[in-house]
Amino acid sequence: MISVQDGQNRVLTQIARPTAPEILLLSQARARVLAEDVTAPFDVPPTDNSAVDGYAVASADIPSSGTRELAVVAELPAGAVFDGALAAGQAIRIMTGAPIPRGADTVYPQEVVEKLGRTIRVPTLRKAANVRMRGEDVQAGTVVIERGTVLRPAELGLLASLGRVEVLAYRRPRVALLSTGDEVVEPGSPRKPGQIYDANRFTLAASIESAGGEVLDLGIVPDLRDELRARLLEASAADAVVTSGGVSVGVYDLVKEVLDDVGAIDFWQVAMQPGRPLAFGRVGTAHFFGLPGNPVASMLAFLLFVRPALHKLGGRRRLFGDTFEARATEAMPKKKGRREFKRGVLQWMDGAWQVRTTGPQGSGILSSMAAGNCLIVLDEERGDVAPGETVLVEPF
């Protein structure tokens, strides 16, 4: 029996390097992982510019008390540059984003200015008010976004503001996915007595995509050695192979045996609950993950072992999700010596994060995942949880 953490370490040490980088258009790079450190080629904003619609003036012309009249000598829309320089006693009508004209250093918002034909009357104002300084967002030469960062909307906008059209991103890890079991049938097809619809290929395909992977769907394989062998060999062209079912100790649990034959296998009992045996190893050059068949157990094993592996393969800097503390609102039975994961509902109530379980926690009860918004993570050393105690939660 090994611990969850030992298992995670054993998986991650097998992943030596990420997939190769590829060039992507910025417009196709959402949720992809940056494969370069991006340095700013120039300051953003590139010039001092106005933060408001108003009037640019020289601070020497700002009255220290009372008001003062200034002549409006030009109008500057965003995108226009003023050729001349501001002289004493002058102001320039300026729009948000327009570069601050030479000689000016402060902008009056139009709301505080009194318009008198071709002049304006201005009150007192702090020097440099309403000016966005050159480089206040990003300075030329600095690393703006580090390699290994997932590109969210903000990062994409930042890259565009640097003039980037393309970026280097890690290729999405290709993950071959298959379900095993004579009883498992495709949704949409008739279901005979004793058969169940394949749930795992849907939870796992979505989980693979959420973790940045690309799914190669290899369907459902019956519990037959030769078919399983052929399908695993086909799967080995991928970066990783994920199967569900067939890894426990039943007569028809063939995954371990077939993998021993066509690949290399490391078979573990992980000290966790829901905890089923997990097969990890290789088939060809692909990393192999044989997940349990029970739908909750396979999702959990994915979250604990496959997701960090795909994150590492996909070049991400951050491999694990965030956990934080919440108050348990109910008693939770817990055996010492293994890590237990319950499906929880996390809510902000009475000024604190509070968490309850979703009800029955059996490893086949998939509705307990659907009803939840977090995992409640109870460490190995912990015993029963009493209401009011603090527990760790990981939102999903």
Using rule CB under 6 A, residue 198 touches ligand AMP: yes
Using rule CB under 6 A, residue 179 touches ligand AMP: yes
Using rule CB under 6 A, residue 293 touches ligand AMP: yes
Sheet of 119-122: strand order equals 106-109, 54-57, 90-94, 68-76, 119-122, 114-116
Contact of 278 with 270, CB cutoff 8 Å: yes
Answer for which of 250, 359, 383, 395 binds ligand AMP (CB under 6 A) is 250
Give the dihedral sign, CA 342/348/354/358. Answer: negative
Amino acid at 239: D
* CB 261, min distance to ligand AMP, A: 18
The residue range among 62-70, 245-253, 325-333, 350-358 that interacts with ligand AMP, by the rule CB under 6 A, is 245-253
- Cα 70 to chain centroid, rounded: 53
* CB 263, min distance to Mg ion, A: 19
Amino acid at 259: L
Q: Which does 374 bind (CB under 5 to 8 A by kind): Mg ion, ligand AMP, none?
A: none
- Closer to Mg ion by CB, 117 or 194: give it: 194
Answer for which of 173, 181, 274, 290 binds Mg ion (CB under 5 A) is 181
Question: Among 162, 122, 163, 126, which residue's Cα sits nearest to residue 144?
Answer: 162
Q: Which does 199 bind (CB under 5 to 8 A by kind): Mg ion, ligand AMP, none?
A: ligand AMP
Using rule CB under 6 A, residue 227 touches ligand AMP: no
Using rule CB under 5 A, residue 18 touches Mg ion: no
With helix as H, strand as E and coil as C, how does 5-43 read? Answer: HHHHHHHHHHCCCCCCEEEEEHHHCCCCEECCCEECCCC
- Closer to Mg ion by CB, 191 or 336: give it: 191
First to last CA, the chain: 27
Using rule CB under 5 A, residue 290 touches Mg ion: no
The residue range among 177-185, 206-214, 323-331, 383-391 that interacts with ligand AMP, by the rule CB under 6 A, is 177-185
- Could you give the CA distance from residue 221 to residue 229 in angstroms, rounded to a whole number? 10
What is the three-class DSSP state of 389? coil
Expressed in percent and rounded to 5, the helix, strand and coil fractions of the chain are: 20, 35, 45
What is the three-class DSSP state of 106? strand
- Could you give the CA distance from residue 176 to residue 210 in angstroms, rounded to a whole number? 15
Using rule CB under 5 A, residue 274 touches Mg ion: no
Where in 220-249 is the site for Mg ion (CB under 5 A)? 245-246
Answer for which of 19, 90, 273, 294 binds ligand AMP (CB under 6 A) is 294
* CB 366, min distance to ligand AMP, A: 8
- Closer to ligand AMP by CB, 103 or 181: give it: 181
Q: What secondary structure does DSSP assign to 159-212, as a single string?
A: HHHTT-SEEEEEPPPEEEEEEE-TTEE-TTS---TT-EE--HHHHHHHHHHHTT
Please enumerate in sequence order all residues whose Cβ is within 8 A of that of 90, keeping only pairs 6 or more positions apart, or say none: 57, 58, 61, 70, 71, 72, 73
Using rule CB under 6 A, residue 244 touches ligand AMP: yes
Using rule CB under 5 A, residue 7 touches Mg ion: no
The residue range among 61-69, 242-250, 306-314, 322-330 that interacts with ligand AMP, by the rule CB under 6 A, is 242-250
Using rule CB under 5 A, residue 295 touches Mg ion: no
Using rule CB under 5 A, residue 292 touches Mg ion: no
Using rule CB under 6 A, residue 292 touches ligand AMP: yes
- Could you give the CA distance from residue 313 to residue 319 in angstroms, rounded to a whole number? 10
Question: Among 218, 204, 184, which residue's Cα sits nearest to residue 291?
Answer: 204
Using rule CB under 6 A, residue 245 touches ligand AMP: yes
Query: What is the contact mask toward ligand AMP in residues 54 to 73, using x (rule: CB under 6 A)?
Result: --------------------
Point out which residues bind Mg ion (CB under 5 A): 181, 245-246, 293
Point out which residues bind ligand AMP (CB under 6 A): 179, 181, 183-184, 196, 198-201, 244-248, 250, 292-295
